[in-house]
């Protein structure tokens, strides 16, 4: 429904996650999520879907206003994004591994990393926590490249 001033009413996280389905409940098959996430988005945006998903994930992650990484891990568990392990890579950067990734786990690898939305989400969350500019690169991908985890290197540009 258009708002009174004719602006396009933005849907925020709190609203999008309100669910009222007395019979079907709170859950839907992962297949449905992937149709939207992998097929519909790429149909609409082609190759630029990757960058758009990253930026959109980043904006969302920043807007969550999380105070520390443990809240992020908790959120990922609640939303069943995956099983999260945090650590460091060989450069001493924060590295986040996602096991059983909701976006790609189980797929026949098409030969490219698929989880740019998740990478953006991590970037936004860490940027919100650290107040520094953050760049995230997906270095491994389960369903995209055949790895054991979707792994993300987090580069924080300290200002
Ligand atoms: Zn992945």
Mean pLDDT for the chain overall: 92
48 secondary structure, DSSP code: G
pLDDT digits (tens, 9 = 90+) for 115-130: 999 999 999 999 999 9
Spacing, Cα 103 to ligand 1 middle (Å): 7
Look-up of token digits 């609640």: 78
Q: How far is the CA of 17 from the centre of ligand 1 (A)?
A: 23
Q: Which CATH class is domain 20-157?
A: alpha beta
Q: What is the pLDDT of residue 91?
A: 94
pLDDT digits (tens, 9 = 90+) for 108-118: 999 999 999 99
Average pLDDT over residues 18-29: 94
pLDDT score at 79: 87
- 96 CA distance to ligand 1 middle (Å): 12
Distance from the alpha carbon of residue 141 to the mean position of ligand 1, in angstroms: 4
- Pinpoint the alpha helices (H) of 25-159: 30-34, 41-45, 49-63, 69-78, 116-130, 142-145
How much is the pTM? 0.86
* Ligand 1 geometric centre to CA of 120 (Å): 12
Q: Is the pLDDT of residue 21 over 90?
A: yes
The set of residues, in sequence order, having a beta carbon less than 8 Å from that of 71 and lying 6+ positions away, is: none
Compute, in degrees rounded to 10, the torsion defined by CA atoms 116, 16, 79, 127.
Answer: 50
Distances (CA, A) of 72 to 28, 42, 56, 82, 107: 22, 27, 17, 11, 25
Q: Give residue 112 CA to ligand 1 midpoint distance, Å.
A: 9
In the block, which residue shows the tokens 């708002």? 3
CA of 119 to the centre of ligand 1 (A): 9
145 compared with 77, residue with greater pLDDT: 145
């Amino acid at each position: 429904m258009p708002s009174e001033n004719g602006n396009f009413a933005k849907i925020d996280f709190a609203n999008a996650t309100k669910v009222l389905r007395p019979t079907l409940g709170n859950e839907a098959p992962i297949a449905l999520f992937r149709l939207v996430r992998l097929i519909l988005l790429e149909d609409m945006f082609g190759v630029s879907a990757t960058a758009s998903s990253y930026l959109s994930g980043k904006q969302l992650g920043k807007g969550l206003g999380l105070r520390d990484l443990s809240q992020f891990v908790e959120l990922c568990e609640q939303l069943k994004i995956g099983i999260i392990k945090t650590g460091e890579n060989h450069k001493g950067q924060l590295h986040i591994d996602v096991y059983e990734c909701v976006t790609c786990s189980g797929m026949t690898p098409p030969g490219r990393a698929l989880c740019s939305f998740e990478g953006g989400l991590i970037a936004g969350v860490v940027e919100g926590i650290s107040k520094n500019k953050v760049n995230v690169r997906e270095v491994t991908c389960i369903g995209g490249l055949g790895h054991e985890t979707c792994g993300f290197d987090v580069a924080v540009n300290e200002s």
